[in-house]
Amino acid sequence: MTEKAANALELSDLSVAYRVGGRNRAVLRNLNLAIGQGEAYGLVGESGCGKSTVALSVVRYLPRNGSITGGAISLDGQDVMKLDGEALRRARAESVSMVYQDPGKALNPSLRIGRQLTEIFELGGVMGEAAAERAIAMLNRVRISDPSSVMQRYPHQLSGGMQQRVAIAMALANDPTMLILDEPTTGLDATVEAEVLDLIALLRQELSASILFISHNLAVVSKMCDRVGVLYAGMLVEEGSTQDVFNDPRHPYTVALLRCLPRGGQRKDQGRLDTIPGFLPGIGADIKGCAFADRCALATDRCRSELPPLYDLGGRLSRCHYHEQAQALPRATPSDVAAAPKAKSEPVLHVEGLNKTYASHGHALRAVKDVSVSLRPGETLGLVGESGSGKTTFARLLLGLVPPDDGGSIRLEGKALAPRLESRTDDQIKAMQIVFQNPDSALNRSHSIRHLISRALKRLAGLRGAALQARLDELVRSVRLTDRHLAVKPRQLSGGLKQRVAIARAFAGEPRIVVCDEPTSALDVSVQAAILNLLADLQSKEDVSYIFISHDLGVVRYLSDQIAVLYLGRIMELGPSEAVFSGPHHPYTEALLSAVPKLDQTETARIRLDGEIPSATHPPPGCVFQTRCPRKIGAICETQEPPLAEAEPGHSIRCHIPYAELARLQKPAMQAEPARRSAKGDRSAGLNPPC
């Protein structure tokens, strides 16, 4: 390859269409975008905006019904559109690499890691031992300790984070000029996500590759990228340096997106989240004027008729006629505060010493160990922890979907609940319902929305005929669906609407407690905000209690009054939301909190968790967290399991370190100066140096 072009990637007037139902439908519309050498460029937007289509177009890897209908793609000065088969194959092999969202699917499950890695070098003509050596060097480079043993393993024997590191190693094997990361951390736990992001940041210092970073997570993009582009309906609506765009947005869409996120510890009683009304125009929609005009409160007739150009605002661009007023966008949802829950002393739910043991290959797997919590009416208990911490199992035990071990007790409004669902009374059943994570799985795809909700009303509320119809109308309105939605099947609704149906169904029997198992994790931020508002509204209206499971700490904080932090099935910390989040907290909570990328970039000294969550069949002796604990104090942690001791009234921590000492240790971290963390160096201790 000759000397480098000025830009690693240049898209000019790129238009892409998908052929659906015999018609070409535009997905990208005259997209202009340039990524400089060595630059990290973030592309954000809601699902359906065309982010992934951009990634696929760059290597001309669109699905069969997709075609590039206009414009040019230039990769390191090379016109991708003009490449013939062989040249295109070479460009894909040598100059561009992609890392996808799900590493489990990107790796071949039936080949060893070593085979998959060496294959890349063999394509480049390096054979045998030499290829193996280079593969090991690549694994070293992505900070995998003991690479030769990893080479011998199959993908399923690696954790999600390790798999993604291997996928990154494969992507970097040919020293590409352009690295495309399409939602590389979306399916991962916060702690693992932090690890992968650290790795990418570190690699950026070592490699010359330019990065196109695609994510729906604004905080992740703000942490990783120099410049960011906001995509809406296949058009770039705003572009500029990361700090400019996120701190001083100049397009109403960016403004609205940023407002949807619960930020800075916002809580449900401090005001509702803002939302974006309406929907993204469907693909191929005929757009006159500004694509966002229908959803924008600032829009005028000019916006609806005249397509705004990308106004150059000095180093940044905005596709808004009124870019200087963008931040004056009025709220779409009034911020009026939901009434604070009335403090009642009688708990609606009291769980004492709940255990669940599974048998796994002859070993006891303690999925939930000695969990005791209680919940008052109108209160939310947030459950947090990495995957495998027992959050979902605990929820299923409460609901009776899984019978707990003998010994524990679940009391609902003072009465003991039978361990099994079948032995519970109809009243007890309807008092506790669930909103599942994935509405596609939770709503029977063969039935209409009307059937789904009426069946719940019939069974749970015991309604028939006209009474059922009246309650159905009321319920449908309360989750802000319309009659129009009743006749259709779930597949005809968007993710957010489906989740509303699931919520309506859970509320059919006027429950006392609703378990929400990651109800917004599959949704876009604007839809998430609407669902969170809805849950908060329903709570204040019906005085219902929630058990809210989420991996998104911002979301948990927004909705929860109490927080339980779980690790390997044990409660590590339990207390009022504010106390748990503001600290002093358990070292595990501290690590979880510091793993979350923050939008305002005021990152404090990071607590890193090394190693992986231990197997629940062989939990570490002593404190289960000792193998990863950054604040381990010594032998006592390895031999003696600390009790869940009350540190302050209502706030318990399972740690040998005294509360006052935790407060002293964590103080500097809590008050540290806002500083952008340097990505270099601080992780390499004890790891193999890069090749």
Partner 1 sequence: MSATDSPAGMPAPDNAGRRGPMAEVFFSLLRSGTFLTGLGIVLFWIACALFGEHFVPYDPLADDIINALAPPSAEHWFGTDQIGRDVFSRVIVGSRDILTVAPLATLLATVAGTALGLFTGYFRGIVDDIISRILEAFMAIPVVIVALLAIVALGTSKTTVIVVIGLSFAPIIARTVRSAVLAERELDYVAAAQLRHESAFHTMFVEILPNVIPPILVETTVRLGYAIFAVATLSFMGFGIQPPSPDWGLSISSNYGMIGGGFWWTVLFDALAIASLVIGVNLAADGVHGAFND
Give contact residues for partner 1 (rule: CB under 8 A): 18, 20-21, 25, 27, 47-53, 56, 63, 65, 278-279, 281-283, 399, 401, 421, 426, 429, 433-434, 436, 438, 441-447, 455-456, 459-460, 484-485, 488-489, 491-495, 497, 505
Q: Closer to partner 1 at the Cβ: 150 or 503? A: 503
CA distances from 374 to 65, 101, 392, 406, 578 (A): 54, 38, 17, 19, 17
* Distance of closest approach, residue 421 Cβ to partner 1, in angstroms: 6
List the one residue out of 512, 509, 511, 532 whose CA is nearest residue 520.
532
Q: Closer to partner 1 at the Cβ: 356 or 654? A: 356
Q: Closer to partner 1 at the Cβ: 184 or 240? A: 184
Handedness of CA 327, 330, 332, 335 (dihedral sign): positive
Phi, psi of 631 (to 5 degrees): -115, 25
Identify the helix (H) or strand (E) that includes residue 671. helix 659-671
Q: Cα separation of 332 and 662, whole Å?
A: 42
Q: Closer to partner 1 at the Cβ: 437 or 652? A: 437
Q: Cα separation of 630 and 619, whole Å?
A: 18
Q: Closer to partner 1 at the Cβ: 53 or 95? A: 53
List the one residue out of 148, 139, 146 whose CA is nearest residue 686.
146
The vertex-639 CA angle with 633 and 644, nearest 5°, equals 75
* Distance of closest approach, residue 294 Cβ to partner 1, in angstroms: 8
Residue by residue, DSSP assigns 346-391 as S-SEEEEEEEEEEEETTEEEEEEEEEEEEE-TT-EEEEE--TTSSH
Q: Cα separation of 382 and 577, whole Å?
A: 8
* Distance of closest approach, residue 148 Cβ to partner 1, in angstroms: 38
Q: Closer to partner 1 at the Cβ: 317 or 442? A: 442
Q: Closer to partner 1 at the Cβ: 144 or 514? A: 514
* Distance of closest approach, residue 548 Cβ to partner 1, in angstroms: 17
DSSP state of 561: S
List the one residue out of 684, 688, 631, 573 whose CA is nearest residue 199.
684
Q: Closer to partner 1 at the Cβ: 46 or 590? A: 46
* Distance of closest approach, residue 75 Cβ to partner 1, in angstroms: 19
* Distance of closest approach, residue 500 Cβ to partner 1, in angstroms: 12
Contacts of 656 (CB under 8 A, 6+ apart): 623, 633, 636, 637, 640, 642
* Distance of closest approach, residue 447 Cβ to partner 1, in angstroms: 8
* Distance of closest approach, residue 458 Cβ to partner 1, in angstroms: 9
Q: Cα separation of 255 and 508, whole Å?
A: 36
Give the residues across from 33 on adjacent strands. Answer: 11
Q: Closer to partner 1 at the Cβ: 91 or 527? A: 527
Q: Closer to partner 1 at the Cβ: 323 or 424? A: 424
* Distance of closest approach, residue 370 Cβ to partner 1, in angstroms: 25
Residue type, 518: E
Half-sphere exposure (Cβ direction) of 355: Cα atoms closer than 13 Å: 12
* Distance of closest approach, residue 16 Cβ to partner 1, in angstroms: 9
Q: Residue 601, class by beta-carbon neighbours within 10 Å (0-12 exposed, 13-18 middle, 19+ buried)?
A: middle
For residue 63, is the peptide bond before it cis, meaning its omega torsion is within 30 degrees of 0? no
